[in-house]
């Protein structure tokens, strides 16, 4: 293709037609500039496409990580609730044990008071005799 254009330039220069040659040269310059602009635009589109691909991939990774985090948080919440329920059961058991101990202590103290009263009564009976 280059030899073809070279022949045209040489022919125009030999025929001494500077106006035609100037138009031809300007036409070639315009074509080269248009070609460069087209190439730049194609390159820009390609770069944007690559950027969109990377962006999409990154967003998918973020989504997958968020879903995994959500599952992990849900599991931890479940375990925390389970631990809370176990702790509440433990407290309820401790409270009921404490009530049982208090009841035993009250009964025992009642028995002791009754014994003291009986002893006092017997001592009072013996002193009165």
Q: For the chain, how long is the longest CA-to-CA vector? A: 167
Give me the mean pLDDT over the 99-114 stretch.
76
Which phi and psi (to 5°) does residue 93 adopt? Answer: -65, -45
For residue 41, the enclosing domain spans 2-128
Buried b (16+ CB within 10 A) or exposed e, 5-38: eeeeeeebeeeeeeeebeebeeeeeeeeeeeeee
pLDDT at 81: 67
Give the predicted TM-score (pTM) of the model.
0.44
pLDDT at 13: 66
Ranked by mean pLDDT, the top range of 16-20, 67-71, 87-91, 99-103 is: 67-71
Number of domains making up the chain: 1
| pLDDT tens profile 4-56 | 767 776 676 666 667 777 777 788 899 899 999 999 999 999 999 999 999 99
The rounded Cα 105 to chain-centroid distance in angstroms is: 56
């Amino acid at each position: 293709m280059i030899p073809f254009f070279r022949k045209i330039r040489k022919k125009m220069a030999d025929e001494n037609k500077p106006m035609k040659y100037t138009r031809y040269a300007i036409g070639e310059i315009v074509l080269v500039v248009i070609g460069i602009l087209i190439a730049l635009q194609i390159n820009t589109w390609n770069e944007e496409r690559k950027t969109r691909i990377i962006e999409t991939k990154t967003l998918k990774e973020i989504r997958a990580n968020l879903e995994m985090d959500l599952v992990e948080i849900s599991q931890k919440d479940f375990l925390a609730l389970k631990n809370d329920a176990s702790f509440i059961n433990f407290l309820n058991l401790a409270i009921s044990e404490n009530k049982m101990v208090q009841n035993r202590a009250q009964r025992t103290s009642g028995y002791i008071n009754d014994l003291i009263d009986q002893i006092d009564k017997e001592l009072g009976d013996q002193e009165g005799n």
